[in-house]
Amino acid sequence: MAKYYTADSANGLRPFCQIIQGNYEPKKQELATFLTQMYPDGLSKHGHNYLYNPGPLMDEKNSDGQALLIGLVFELVRRSHFPEKPSRYQSLFACQHISEVKEFREQLADEREEDEIRTAPIYEVFTDEAVHCGDMRLLSDDCPVLELYRRAYLYWSGEPAPVREGKEEEKPFWELLIPLPVLIGRQISE
């Protein structure tokens, strides 16, 4: 059984629990039927927030709307070209090493402007399933549509983001997608 690490920015994890997919039921019957058809095993919390959640709209001129569209593009590329890979909508996100999770917490706290995320608990995650390793830097919208398509393809291929001119010091940030269910281990002491 492989061991990885995840940050609990939502403070919803407990030691030695199992994280499973949830079944979310849209109020409109045609959406409920479609969601069940596409994801019969359910969604992760991330999947709920990025696919089903009726709150944020894609037409909003903010980062939430853009993140929803990027997530959908990446999911459609996965379904079309890499169906064997775990869906971002049905996975837990983790890192290989504790130092990477700490770096992720800092990035997320800066992005969301929420300092409490900097001290979010870190937990072990155990799985026997194959995980996907993708460069999180590819999940950005600072590009034309064709480039976003290419970035999604690179992500699912396990390739790093291209080095940008003047940004040679940037390195890949590898996130792991672990298909649910997963077993949460102990909380890491810091």
Encode pLDDT of 19-78 as tens digits: 999 998 888 999 999 999 999 999 999 999 888 876 766 665 666 778 888 999 999 999
On the question of pLDDT at 166 being above 80, the answer is no
On the question of pLDDT at 164 being above 80, the answer is no
The predicted pLDDT at position 162 comes to 85
Question: What are the helix (H) ranges across 17-144?
Answer: 29-38, 45-47, 63-81, 98-112
Angle at 169 between CA 87 and CA 82, to 5 degrees: 20
Cβ pair 135, 172 in contact under 8 A: yes
Give how many domains the chain has, as a whole number: 1
Per-residue pLDDT averaged across 98-108, rounded? 95
Per-residue pLDDT averaged across 80-99, rounded? 98
On the question of pLDDT at 91 being above 90, the answer is yes
Give CA–CA dist 70/116, Å, rounded.
26
Please report which helix (H) or strand (E) contains residue 150, including its range. helix 145-157
Confidence of residue 167 (pLDDT cuts 50, 70, 90): confident
Q: What average pLDDT is seen over the chain?
A: 92
What residue numbers bound the domain in which 172 lies? 2-187
Confidence of residue 165 (pLDDT cuts 50, 70, 90): confident
Strands, DSSP E only, in the chain? 2-7, 18-19, 91-94, 122-127, 132-135, 174-179, 182-187
The predicted pLDDT at position 60 comes to 57
On the question of pLDDT at 140 being above 90, the answer is no
Q: Is the pTM of this model over 0.75?
A: yes
